[in-house]
Amino acid sequence: MEAPVLFREQEAANGKRIGFAQLNAEKSLNALDLPMIRLLDPQLQRWAADPGIACVVLQGAGEKAFCAGGDVRSLYRAIREHQGPPPNLANLAFFDEEYSLDYRIHRYPKPLMVWGSGIVMGGGLGLMAGASHRVVTETSRVAMPEITIGLFPDVGGSWFLRRMPGRTGLFLALTGASINGHDLLVAGLGDHFVRSADRETLFRQLAAVDWSDDAAGNGAALSALLAGFSGRAQDLMPASPLLQHAQAIEALTAGASLREVHAAITGYAGDDPWLKRAAATLAAGSPTTAALVWALRERVAGLSLAEVFRLELIVALQCCAHPDFAEGVRALLIDKDNAPKWTPPTLAEVTPEWVEEHFHAPWTDSVASVGA
């Protein structure tokens, strides 16, 4: 049986090498689990410390997905098998180590290119968001759909969604709306648009780049290579829903309170299919998730990236201890009845006290390693 992450090194110019890491779970669309994290994180650290490695590439197996998100089925099983007061130690290990990996990518000292082709959702976007060179293609399909499973847009989503233009990130967090590679460029979460068919050619040409011992110079050299590929991919770039709906998004999210914004989005009465899907998803989604999205947006203002990840860790573990996350996964992925029974069932019944419970650290001493 092959390892869940495959590693190889490619000889390159000037005696340098390129490190390649491939998420290797094609059947599950490369869903990120703890064994993957425990292979990927130490290898990235070794490559960071190796003076012979000039650049690192992270990709997913197959053509369908870079990474379709975290392995929420395993989180669900851990909740069911280890019920009790938080923190759930199995889920603590997953979230803490996942967020530490994401944080390390944000702070990686060398050029790190993520090939974000195909499906990129949830935890996949967490791996991609902090990379120095984020490549998207005409097949990129991106979303943070946690509203449908009673979690929240984590993996640093509280950080990077807030930095999107206007209130775009708030809209995406509340509705789980699907966007494409062009949208990622617009939102500042993608850097280069390349044809999906050019992947192997691009990877081979990495060997001929004039690499040096200077990380900044190597980053510029990688950018120059990618710019050449981007130049011949423009005819495949899809229209951007974020650009097309920019005015509508701002109008729908202009309210001063969550209830105003929720009512505006779910009350959309137009005939645009993308906005109709977004409205329907929020209407059917977890009211607690919507409240957490709003609360996190307010609370992370002024926090450092490491502080955001630590706060998200608390909220993630509290989601595991509250009803909606397990119920959402059950309804969508386990029983597949698509009929979750949310607690509370409506936004009007979500109290400030209920939201505040999700921000109480479920431990007496800090056990989180994110940013350490």
What residues are annotated to the active site? Answer: 70, 123, 146, 154
CB atoms within 10 A of CB 247: 9
User: % helix / strand / coil in the chain, to the nearest 5?
Assistant: 50, 10, 35
Q: How far apart are CA 17 and CA 10, in angstroms?
A: 5
Instruction: Identify whether the C-beta of residue 112 lies closer than 8 Å to the C-beta of residue 56.
Output: yes
CB atoms within 10 A of CB 333: 12
- The answer to whether the peptide bond before residue 87 is cis (omega within 30 degrees of 0) is yes
- The answer to whether the peptide bond before residue 42 is cis (omega within 30 degrees of 0) is no
The token pair at 335 is 């029983």
Q: How far apart are CA 366 and CA 368, in angstroms?
A: 6
Closest CA to 148 of 318, 30, 288, 33: 288
Closest CA to 28 of 57, 58, 69, 85: 69
- Listed in sequence order, the DSSP H helices in the chain are 34-49, 72-81, 89-106, 123-129, 157-160, 168-175, 181-187, 199-205, 215-231, 241-244, 246-252, 258-266, 273-284, 287-299, 305-321, 323-329, 352-357
In the sheet where 112-116 sits, what is the strand order?
5-11, 17-23, 53-60, 112-116, 133-136, 192-193
Any residues with CB less than 8 A from the CB of 285 and at least 6 apart, and which? 147, 148, 174, 176
Q: How far apart are CA 43 and CA 366, in angstroms?
A: 26
Q: What is the identity of the amino acid at 222?
A: L
